[in-house]
């Protein structure tokens, strides 16, 4: 069964958990995805099935769009609310003050990957080193923030963000950088991917829906590769 599945990933599932689950649902050995979502994040996961796994290269440079929540005044070791709090500050920042900080984080920026990430250095994943209390040097990497929009404040006092960005962008790290720019610290409190390349969350299906009738939701590979590439 070769094709594309657009999954609305639930919280507390890793991206590979979703792939492993779908191997059983589809009775297909070869299943992968085009871009990891953190376990606590939700939203669009583009899954490739069968020979479609070879098409992942066509999604390497896809832009991504996210809706995130930013909690100011809290800094954690994972740069999100699920980590250990390492600093906490009272703050009463206005939307105008936050907007000023966002201006310096739009466009081409350098971003240092977080220790709690799956990047490998000398054969070891950074999160494995971090969980043992270690830390290693990480070189900053260029990323592009095409859109960074501040939205409403919620009942928890967290601000909304809409982000459109290049591959390799860590939204947790962006939230941390916003907190640094404001001088109070900050972390990510929620994350939902809403777009990956040409695909939108409105096209995605829950795992429950897919389990009911998986064949109905398989899309043709040409949506990702184009007609010529699909004949490789």
Among 125, 175, 168, residue whose Cα is nearest residue 150: 175
70, 173 in Cβ contact below 8 A? Answer: no
For helices 171-182 and 95-103, the axis angle rounded to 10 degrees is: 110
Among 21, 80, 49, residue whose Cα is nearest residue 217: 49
Q: At 154, list the tokens.
A: 């919620």
**Cβ contacts of residue 156 below 8 Å, gap of 6+?**
71, 189
3, 221 in Cβ contact below 8 A? Answer: yes
Q: Which of 8, 38, 80, 158 is catalytic?
A: 38
38 counts as catalytic: yes
CA gap 211, 86 in Å, rounded: 41
Among 42, 51, 32, residue whose Cα is nearest residue 171: 42
CA gap 126, 113 in Å, rounded: 9
Cα(first)–Cα(last) distance of the chain, in Å? 17
92, 73 in Cβ contact below 8 A? Answer: no
Catalytic residues: 38
């Amino acid at each position: 069964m070769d094709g594309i599945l657009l999954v609305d990933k639930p919280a507390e599932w890793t991206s590979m958990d979703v792939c492993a689950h779908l191997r059983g649902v589809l009775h297909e050995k070869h299943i992968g995805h085009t871009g990891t979502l953190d376990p606590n994040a939700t939203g669009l996961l583009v899954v490739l099935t069968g020979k479609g796994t070879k098409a992942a290269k066509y999604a390497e440079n896809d832009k991504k769009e996210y809706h995130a929540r930013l909690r100011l005044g809290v800094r954690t070791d994972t740069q999100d609310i699920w980590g250990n709090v390492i600093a906490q500050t009272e703050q009463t920042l206005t939307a105008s003050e936050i907007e000023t900080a966002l201006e310096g984080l739009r466009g081409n920026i350098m971003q240092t990957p977080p220790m709690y990430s799956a990047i490998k250095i000398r054969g070891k994943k950074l999160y494995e080193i971090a969980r043992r209390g270690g830390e290693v040097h990480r070189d900053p990497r260029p990323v592009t923030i095409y859109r960074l929009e501040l939205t409403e404040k919620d009942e928890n006092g967290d601000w909304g963000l809409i982000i459109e960005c290049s591959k390799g962008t860590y939204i947790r790290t962006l939230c941390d950088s916003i907190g640094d720019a404001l001088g109070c610290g900050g972390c990510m409190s929620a994350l939902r991917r809403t777009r990956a390349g040409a695909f939108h969350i409105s096209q995605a299906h829950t795992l429950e829906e897919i389990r009911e009738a998986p064949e109905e939701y398989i899309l043709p590979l040409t949506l990702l590769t184009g007609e010529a590439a699909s004949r490789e």
